[in-house]
Structures are given as C-alpha cells and as structure tokens.
Amino acid sequence: MIKTEIYENALFETIKRGATEISPDVRGAFVDAIERETNPDARAGLAATLESMDMSSVRKNPLCVDTGWPIFYFKVGNRCELEGGFVELENAARRAVAKATRLGYLRATMKHPLTGYDPGNNIGMNIPDFTYKFVDGDSIEMSYAAKGGGSECFGGTRHRIVAFADGIKGIEKFVIDSFVASARAGAVCPPSVLGIGIGGTANVAANLAKKAACLRTVGSKHPDPMFAKIEEDLYEALNSLGIGILGAGGNTSVLAVNVEYAYTHIAGIACATSTNCMVARRASTRINSDGSVEKMQSPMWFGDR
C-alpha cells in the first residue's frame, strides 16, 4: 500500500517540476527549431524563450506567468493500492495545488465562471481535473499538465463533424483553417504542440485531442502509418504558413502535430483540435507498490494507446 505522505509529496514535486522545468523533448524541439528558423527576429525570440525556460529550472520559478488549468492524468495499475483510496488521492492533489500556489509555483488563476470569485488557491468546482486510465500492474503514474489560457481560450480548442464524403481532406482542411484562425497575432502562443482527435463522439474526440497535445512525447509518431502520415503532412503544411513564434512571422509554427483516434459512427467523423502553447508544460512521476518514487522524462500515456 502506498502511503498518503508519499503520493502527496510526489504530487507536489510533479506540479513544481511541471511548472518550472521544461520537458526534455520540448527542449529538444526548441533547439532544433532555433537551428532551422530562417527569420532572424523569430530565431531571436525562440532563443530568448529557451534561455528564459532554462533559467526557470535554476530559479525554480514558473516557465510562464500563466500557469494554466491544473490537469491530472493518472495511469493506474489494476492492483495499485493507495492509503485512503482514490478519493484521498484527489484530496492530496488539491492540497498539493494549493501549496504550489501559496509558494508561487502556480499563479492563482482559477476563478468562479460567473462571479469571477478567486479562491486564491486554484481549487474550485471540478478543478483540478482528473482523468484515469487503468492498466495491468500495481504502480501509479501521475502526470500533471498546466494547460495555458492563451492556447485554450483563443480558438485553440475546436471541433467539427466531418462527413465520410470529405474524409482525410475534410479533416486536414478543418485543422489548417482552425490553426490559422487561432494562431493569428500569436493568440495561442505558437509554436504549438497541436493535438488532434479523430472519431468517437465530439467529447471523445476533444479528450483525445487534449491528451495528444498534453501527453504525447514531442517528436513521437503515431504507430499506425495512416495516422503518422496525417501528422507528417500537417506538420509540414502548418510550418509552411509563415506564422512563427507568437504569430509575428517565421517558419516555426508547430513543434509537433499529434493525432489520436477512436472508431466512429457511420454517420460522421468527429474531429477536434487542442492546441498546447510552446512551453507545453507537464511532468510525470511513477510510484511503485513498495513506495519508491521515480521521475519520468515523459508521461508514457500512449504505450498501448
């Protein structure tokens, strides 16, 4: 049985790491982008962003002032046992978010949707958000994603039902139209990690898109060549648009395009996009049944899809 103290500390450390340290895969994508970028102002902007992100790891301050919606993904072994059970896991996550806010690793960003009331600790109705996936085993993998307001609010999250008559062309047209509209003037903080969900009901597609944006390792490919081809074609298309960092021009508009899919109804193909900002904050930790804690370089959410 994994003790409350162990998973609560691990949750806090995961939040802190997600807020203050750039993931190695995102960092790698920045280094590559700086090498490839031909617009000198965009290149300087990418380099300044990377320099600032590297300083955050040392100063232990947030990578960006907007520390986003707090979102947790738990990949749970079927035989995993937690002291206090999963209700206590969620309570511990809330306590860890409040602590991280109090210590300045997170900004108090979550507000009541109607009154604007700010609890000052990022805790409120249905926030933080929790998603679970059950797998074989007895460990638990915890991923924290900080989904920024820019990428979420300014058209980065969209959906459309595409007819089978329009197929892949319809999907690709929807994605390109959506991205251009949302990246104007840098609204979604490009270069983006663009997640795309294809199939399922509209909410299934939207959830797949969010996971594709927040949990896929940047640089990974979908194992099915049909979907990998869509990722590759869209990556190339979007980087040819000239949007650039913060929309001010340049040839780095996306760091990654990640597609996930579900079977869909014969009547239509739900498609959704979820855009993650250039910082693409996340961190993951594994706790084994003996209570040992391991930092993970990447969420490893999709190993078995």
Partner 1 sequence: MAEYHLTSPLSEEDVRRLRIGDTVYLSGNAFTCRSRLQKYIFDEGNTLPFDTRERNLLIHNGPIVIKENDKWRLVSFMPTSSIRFEKWGAKSVREWGLRMIVGKTTMGEETAAAMKELGCVHASPRSVSPNLWIDSIEVEDVYLFDELGSIEAAWFFKINELGPFVVDIDSEGNNYFDRLDEQIDEHKRAALEKLGIGEDFKFTKLY
Token duo for residue 82: 């937690």
Rounded-to-integer distance, Cα 249 and Cα 172, Å: 22
Rounded-to-integer distance, Cα 216 and Cα 194, Å: 10
Among 119, 99, 194, smallest CA distance to 151 is for 194
**2 versus 206: smaller Cβ distance to partner 1:** 206
* Cβ pair 69, 146 in contact under 8 A: yes
Least separation, in Å, of the C-beta of 25 and partner 1? Answer: 18
Contact residues for partner 1, defined by CB under 8 A: 41-42, 44-46, 48-49, 51-53, 55-56, 59, 61-67, 104, 107-109, 116, 118, 120, 149-150, 153-154, 160-163, 165-166, 169-170, 172-174, 176, 180, 184-187, 189, 233, 237-238, 240-243, 245-249, 268, 277-279
Name the DSSP class of 209: H
293 half-sphere exposure, CB direction, 13 A CA radius:
16
**59 versus 79: smaller Cβ distance to partner 1:** 59
**91 versus 201: smaller Cβ distance to partner 1:** 201
Token duo for residue 17: 């790491």
Distance spanning both ends of the chain, measured CA to CA: 27
Least separation, in Å, of the C-beta of 203 and partner 1? Answer: 17
* Cβ pair 271, 171 in contact under 8 A: yes
Least separation, in Å, of the C-beta of 118 and partner 1? Answer: 5
In the three-class reduction of DSSP (H, G, I as helix; E, B as strand; rest coil), residue 285 is classed as strand
**30 versus 144: smaller Cβ distance to partner 1:** 30
Residue 283 CB neighbour total at 10 angstroms: 24
